[in-house]
Amino acid sequence: MPQFRMGSTVDRLDRPSSYAMSKYKRKRRHSNSERAPSPDPMDKLANATTLYVGNLSFYTTEEQIHELFGKCGGIKRLIMGLDRFHKTPCGFCFVEYYTHQDALDCMKYVGGTKLDERIIRCDLDEGFAEGRQYGRGKSGGQVRDEYREEFDPGRGGFGKKIMEERERYADEYD
């Protein structure tokens, strides 16, 4: 009787997410051929101790994050994502653990759970560098919030582009 090897139906947690891979591919495509090639994301994440945490409510506090994420291991540092112009929370943070295993445990047990009525997402990160705590959207927050079309009270209402269109419409027809 032939032997069949079954592949795992669960992805490894220490692999780069589709977001990280698309970022890596963009970097490679736009990099100068004279420069040394950027390292493989698998190498950077092999011992990563930092998590990127997204889809947070704008009203989630550092204390709430510390309480939830501290259940998986000792937190070395917590950096809240801020609106670049207003310096208010904008829906993401970085959680740095002391060990790689604690970061993996957190992804496994905390990622995909609810905090402040929002399903949070966790992703291994290559490590925090100064400046990454600020939103990269034109308005100072996160880019995805600028294009959001639905009302989301946990992230400040409608997206920035929708609000601009509504204001422009109101100005034209008032």
Q: Pairing between strand 89-97 and 50-54?
A: antiparallel
**Which pLDDT does position 89 carry in this prediction?**
86
Count of C-beta atoms within a 10 Å radius of residue 171: 8
Decide if pLDDT at 40 tops 50: yes
Q: For residue 137, what are its two tokens?
A: 């959207």
Say yes or no to pLDDT of 14 above 90.
no
Higher pLDDT: 95 or 174? It is 95
| pTM tops 0.75, yes or no | no
Q: How far apart are CA 80 and CA 56, in angstroms?
A: 10
103 compared with 90, residue with greater pLDDT:
103
Give residue 27's pLDDT.
54
Residue 112 is predicted with a pLDDT of 92
Locus of tokens 């409608």 = 158
pLDDT by residue (tens digit) across 80-100? 988 888 888 888 899 999 999
Mean pLDDT across the chain, nearest whole number? Answer: 75
Identify the band that residue 8 occupies on the pLDDT scale cut at 50, 70 and 90.
Answer: very low
Q: How many residues does the chain have?
A: 174
